[in-house]
Amino acid sequence: MTYLADKKISIVIPSHNEEKNISYLIEQLRETLTPTGYAYELIFVDDGSRDNTLNELKINAELHTNVFYVELSRNFGKDYALKAGIAMAHGDAVITMDADLQHPPQLILKMLKLWENGYDIVYTYREGENPHGKGYQKVTSKLFYKGLNMLSDIKMENGTADFRLIDEKVVKQLKLIDEYEIFFRGIIKWAGYRQIGIPYVPSKRHTGEASYSFPKLVKLAVGSIVAFSARPLYIVSLIGLFFSTLAILYIPYVLVSYFLGYAVSGWASIIATIAFFGGLQLLVMSVIGVYVGKIFMQSKHRPHYIIRSSNVVIVNNDFIRV
């Protein structure tokens, strides 16, 4: 294989309750990456794990000089964990991947080849349905991508994964993004550059349980769509316009009926109208509310995550182990 030996790859791995996967993943990555000749560093982000993940990371960081970790002060969510890891990475390319071995390490070789051929971003998307997902996830996942593609200006393949290679020049730009509830899969599409998607078949989780619950997924889905588009606002304003036009057309009918003495006291029609417009107003307001919430959170300018500990400090763009 003709890999460029003097380049360095940073692999960023968000980890939440992955105690039994860490050592195995490191071993798999070593087997995959050593033959390429690339220097590489593994940056694990412990995203508020409640199990032994941090200890596992400390042990491995003692064993391997290219294993680094940051411990976040609590569970901030995967995208913030990714942000924390990317902030530290300073390789010629950064690869992000899950800690549970659902992202096959072997695919990294293909990513590196495409990168060497001039692509700035190599992202992956799931081939077909997720064979390891829960039943309802087949429907919700499809709905999410349909909704996102319909309502926003980015187009994403079904099952786009947080398993991707990003060239250093793109990483530099990503580090500048200071967005609340950052959604990397969308940001990557939005960023442009020369990018290519490759399909992958997810493996089974090595050990442990997936940590995203249904309410968390719904919040993520709404947040992501809102982050990428103001189109829901335009849609509700169109609905509002449609019904206010109808109402205006209705008024002459009401007036004429009144003056001709045809007006009857219609309880059912009044209640139905009040209920309908009451519901519609709440819907419109809630859509606006979601956007106001985004502005509110963004306007606080809080840090997106807090680091509790790490085995590394960065001095002059170099890692110093502590």
Q: Which of 71, 75, 91, 74 is nearest to 8 (CA)?
A: 91
| Minimum separation from the CB atom of position 215 to ligand UDP (A) | 13
Considering the complex, what minimum distance in angstroms separates the CB of residue 151 from ligand UDP? 22
Can residue 220 be called a binding residue for ligand UDP (CB under 6 A)?
Answer: no
Please state, in angstroms and rounded to a whole number, the distance separating the CA atoms of residues 286 and 302. Answer: 25
160-167 and 121-126 beta bridge pairing = antiparallel
98 binds ligand UDP (CB under 6 A): yes
DSSP state of 132: T
Quick check: 58 and 311 in contact, CB under 8 A?
A: yes
Q: By CB under 6 A, tell whether 182 contacts ligand UDP.
A: no
Rounded Cα–Cα distance for residues 24 and 32 (Å): 12
**Distance from the Cα of residue 147 to its chain's centroid:** 15
The residue range among 3-11, 32-40, 54-62, 71-79 that interacts with ligand UDP, by the rule CB under 6 A, is 71-79
- Please identify, among the stretches 76-84, 187-195, 282-290, 307-315, the one whose residues bind ligand UDP according to the rule CB under 6 A: 76-84
CB of 1 to ligand UDP, least distance (A): 28
Determine if 71 is a binding residue for ligand UDP (CB under 6 A).
no
In the complex, minimum distance from the CB of residue 173 to ligand UDP, in angstroms, rounded to a whole number? 23
Euclidean distance between CA atoms 57 and 28, whole angstroms: 15
| Whether 97 contacts 86, CB under 8 Å | no
Rank residues 154 and 210 by Cβ distance to ligand UDP and give the closer one: 210
Contact 22, 56 (CB under 8 A): yes
Segment interacting with ligand UDP, rule: CB under 6 A, options 57-65, 87-95, 210-218, 242-250: 210-218
Give me the least distance between CB of 135 and Mg ion, in Å please. Answer: 17
- Residues that bind ligand UDP in the complex, under the rule CB under 6 A: 14-16, 18, 47, 75, 77-78, 81, 98-100, 102, 210-212
